[in-house]
Copies of this chain bind each other. A is one copy, B any other.
Amino acid sequence: MEKRRGRSSQGVTIREVAARAGVSPMTVSRVINNENNVTPATSAAVMAAIQELKYTPNPAARRLAGSETFRIGLLYSNPSVAFLSEFLLGALDESSKTGHQLVVEKCGATAATEKAALQKLLQSGVDGVVLPPPLCEAKSILAEIAKSGVAAVAVAAGQPGPDVATVRIDNYKAAHRMTQHLLSLGHRTIGFIKGHPNQTVSDQRLHGFLDALSEAGLDPKAAPVEQGYFNYRSGLAAADKLLALKDRPTAIFAANDDMAAAVLATAHRLGLNVPVDLSIAGFDDTLIAGTIWPALTTVRQPIAAMGRAAVSMLLDEVKRRRGGGTGAPAQQLLRHTLVERESTAAPA
């Protein structure tokens, strides 16, 4: 004889499951949270009941009853839209799944507006801040963070700061691996287009490339390297220079996909057949990589996973500080993958 007063919410509740399984709600809670103090038999019975009733726990209730609810801020300026949207996807997903509040704030590109936006976030009482690139390397932001003492996670930063947690991939290794791939196809003259000089990852990718060449017995100083700025247009310019060399490279490795796409366009303009006359490799696996034709061989960063990881690490970090934790914040290195598509092949 329930007393439901009109505000029904017809989902099945933990109590119904408990009744069905002949245990207390608490036990059901333990089962769904994988706690260890439950007899296998009990656990199985509960599981069965869950299946039969198609029970799914109510996340709102879980969060409310569970421990603290944190509010975390995500501050971004103007990274690649592709990166941001995928990253947000992961971050939103994680925070909604764990029931924490995510406050997203956009800021301009100047140090002043960055600082103002950060202040605004801090004012609103966030417990920690997620910093996707390029903010994760902005000195003014990092200084402000350190001063205020809030927890922070830097995403895809080349160089982990001392006070912030970081999520990233191993850019050096990834570039190294991609270079090995090109070498193994038989390329000996490989051009490289560097990324923006104000981002640490640019250096790491370059060094991964150069070291792989050395290890293969080639002279890294002889490798044709051009400066780029992570955008399409700078890729066009760099590609023009590289493809005009007398000793024209048979492969070009660009430090990101946008620039690689520009190399592809330039190659086509010059009447080169990709990948027969020229192999092209990118980095990031953004959308453009799979869109154009031939599709780009590239390095995939698990961006959505980085978003999830960033949120989850930030929560850990907040708790760690609350607990008076000592030592350094966590660092997490996610796995990258080499995505082999149609833009690379053995030289003609």
Contacts and interface: CB of A to CB of B under 8 A. Distances in A.
Interface of A: 7-11, 54, 56, 58-61, 63-64, 67-69, 71, 81-82, 85-86, 88-89, 92-93, 95-96, 99, 101-102, 123-125, 232-233, 236, 258, 261-262, 264-265, 268-269, 271, 286-288, 290-293
Contact of A9 (B7, B67, B96): B67
> How many monomers of this protein are in the complex?
2
Interface SS majority for chain A: helix
8 contacts: A58-B69, A60-B61, A82-B82, A85-B85, A89-B92, A92-B96, A236-B293, A288-B291
A261 to B, nearest CB: 7
Contacts of A85: 85-86, 89
A67 B124 contact: no
Contacts of A102: 96
A261 B292 CA distance: 8
A211 B79 CA distance: 40
Contacts of A261: 291-292
- Closest 7 A-B residue pairs measured CB to CB? A9-B68, A60-B63, A96-B96, A60-B60, A60-B64, A268-B269, A85-B85
Given A64-B60, A287-B81, A71 B11 contact: yes
A292 B124 contact: no
A80 to B, nearest CB: 8
A310 to B, nearest CB: 16
B271 A82 contact: no
Given A11-B71, A233-B293, 6 more contacts: A60-B69, A64-B64, A82-B82, A85-B89, A92-B96, A288-B288
A277 B279 CA distance: 29
A312 to B, nearest CB: 16
B54 A123 contact: yes
A293 B232 contact: yes
Contacts of A11: 68-69, 71, 125
A42 to B, nearest CB: 25
Nearest to A257: B291
Contact of A64 (B61, B67, B95): B61
A201 B89 CA distance: 27
Contacts of A101: 56, 59
